[in-house]
Each structure stands twice: as C-alpha cells, then as structure tokens.
Amino acid sequence: MQKTALVVGGTGPTGHFIVNGLLERGFLVAILHTGNHEVAEIPPEVEHIHTDPYDKTKIEDALAERQFDLCVATYGRLRAIAEVMRGRVGKFISIGGQPAYRGYMSATLFSPEGLPVPTREEAPLVQQPDEDEKGYRIVRTEKALFDLHPQATHFRYPYVYGPYQLVPREWCIVKRILDRRPFIILPDGGLTLHSYGYAENLAHALLLALDQPDIAAGKIYNCGDEEVLTLRQVVEHISAAMSYTWDIVDMPWSWAASARPMIMQPSTCHRVVDISKLRNELGYRDKVSPAEALARTARWLRDNPPQKGGMEEMVLQDPFDYHAEDQLLKAWQQAGALRPSNIFAEEPGVGLSYSGPGGRQRSNTEFE
C-alpha cells in the first residue's frame, strides 16, 4: 500500500521542496493550508486541503477521521497540529524556530552582551515570558510536542531565504541595486554573522530525518547553511550576481539607521548556531552554496518584486528613504574630515605575528 503524507503548509519557501521530495520517495501527498497562496512547483497530483492551520477545531473538521504515515508540520499552530495528529500518524516531523534560545531576541540577557557563538542544541532556552514572549511560547510548544509525540523530530529553523519568502531581507539590497543607488550603508563594517538557511537546503535537512528515522527519532536539530556569511559578504554576493558595482559605506551601528532592516535585531551581535549534530548524525551538507543561493534569490526578487509599500516592505520596515541616506552619508563624510591625522608619534601596528599583505617582511630574500 502506498505511504501517505500530510504536509501542513507546503506553499512557503521550503514547502514545494519538501512536497516534491516526498513524491520522489513514493508518498501520496496532501497539503493542508489556507489556500490563499498556490505555487506552480506543487504538482497537480498533490491533494489540497484548505482550512485554517491555526485553529484546532477547523483542522479536525478538515481531516475528519483520516490517518497518515507521516505528518510534516511546517506552518500553523504547531501545538494544535500535534494534538490533532496524536494517534493518527506514524511519524511526526516539525519545524520551529531558533528564538527558543535564551538571548536570540535579546542579546542583553548575556553579559558581555551577545548570544554564545556557536549556539548548540543544549544551550539555555527562554525560561520566562519577560525574557522574550515569542521565545517562551516556542519553548513551551516544543515541550508539548514531545509530550504528545515522543519519537518526533523537530528542526529549529533560522531565517529562511529564497523565493516566496514573505520577509525577504535580500529585497533591501536588490531594490537598491534596481534603483541604481551608488552606495549602501552597512553597520560596523557589515561584519555581523547570522545563521541563515536557503529554502532548498533546509528542506534537504528535513528529508534526511525522514530517510533515517531511527537516528532522528526524539531529537531536535539546529538547521542552517554550513557557511555562515557576514552581512557584507551577503551584499557582495548579491552585487556580483546582479553585475552591479557600488560603494559599501561602513558606519557605526549608532549611525547606520538605514541598515536596521538588514540586521533584523536591535544590535549587531552575532547569531550563529552549531549544526554539527545535523552534519554528524544525519550527514547534512548544503545542496546549494550560499553564494549560488543568494544569486538565485536576488534574480527571483528582480523578476518578482514585492509590491511597493506592500506587506513585504511593511514587515521589513525599510522605507527606502534615499534622500535621508544621502544626508546621512554627507554628515558621515563631514565627520570623517574632522578626524585628526599624524597624531601618533609611533603608528600602532597589527603585531609582528601578522605576515599577510603589508605585514612583517620575511628575513631571507630567497626561500630555500
């Protein structure tokens, strides 16, 4: 008998990769979603169950007495879905978020400020609502999930990028390129490191758990691209993919207001998770390199731009106020002109251990 799978969601960034991966594995697939968004990548043989995945009663009504060999919960109210699927599913795989970690949303909970790098699965979680209400709910949901499905596999997803993302951080860069801006402002050199995950890579990680059920049962895994890029590297990859040259202007965080939507938090602290458990236990490797993934994302946004002032831009909170950015750059240049020069009697160096360009010269002119 053909195995059956229910995917809750299915039309978001990772959804069609998961659905098609299940079809390739021989599953008869149904997706449960609102029906507000449909994507061409979902094949016609996939059943669509339209209901509200946040409402337990509506989920129960939509499914009636149906049972499935597998449920993949990528969207909706996870606790309600887990309750409905108890006793009617063989394997349960779910997706949550990295805000479960204490300090992910509020780096000031640590002293010195900043989430530990890298953050492992056993790192402290949010314990109190006043630390972070959203993170606290995520942690409680994870506990409820494993109480209901002790053999479930749960993935803590990072920010997801790729087509169909409703919060497309990359649009902050792509739109400025399309508008032919001569510069982009990045805070603190653009050196902030954040774990992100390309949609196809994250779907691949989830499918690895399906392929190795005995290993993955009852476990939580961090997810994300293997290579963690700085914000500056993200900008440079997208610029190269769009064959665009501009100036990257380095400003202190306190000045770089226009960069806040790209940082997506109130500081430039790092958010880097350790995915070695995913790599070592399930054999995860990126299907698509971050450089290529960003190029694909940029081209998709170029060809499918968000509506001006629409939901994506509203959620990003990027006003694309170029007049203000021009004024900011002018003020920064004026401040730079006031920087004193030749004030050190002996110019500080980078240390004699540095032997790269401009560093310590070798003692012998010829190497033997």
Residue 212: predicted pLDDT: 97
Q: Say how many C-beta atoms besides its own lie within 10 A of residue 225's C-beta.
A: 22
Strand partners, 156: 96, 222
Question: What is the spatial distance between Cα 155 and Cα 327, in angstroms, rounded to a whole number?
Answer: 44
Q: What CATH architecture is 88-331?
A: 3-Layer(aba) Sandwich (3.40)
Check residue 37 and give its pLDDT: 86
**pTM, rounded to two decimals:** 0.94
pLDDT at res. 157 = 97
Sequence-separated contacts (24+) of 141-149 with Cβ below 8 Å: 141/78, 141/79, 141/96, 142/96, 142/100, 142/220, 144/79, 144/82, 145/78, 145/79, 145/82, 145/92, 145/94, 146/218, 148/82, 148/83, 148/86, 149/82, 149/85, 149/86, 149/89, 149/92
Bridge partners (DSSP) listed for residue 29: 5
The predicted-structure confidence for 292-346, as pLDDT tens digits, reads as follows: 999 999 999 999 999 999 999 999 999 999 999 999 999 999 999 999 988 999 9
pLDDT for the residue numbered 368: 64
- pLDDT recorded at residue 309: 92
**pLDDT score for 24:** 97
pLDDT at residue 56 in the model: 96
Longest pairwise C-alpha distance within the chain: 83
Q: Give residue-wise pLDDT tens across range 206-249.
A: 999 999 999 999 999 999 999 999 999 999 999 999 999 999 99
Residues of the chain with pLDDT under 70: 362, 365, 367-368
Q: Are 166 and 315 in contact (CB under 8 A)?
A: yes
DSSP bridge pairs for 220: 154
Predicted local confidence at residue 358, as pLDDT: 74
pLDDT of residue 367: 65
> What per-residue confidence (pLDDT) applies to 264?
94
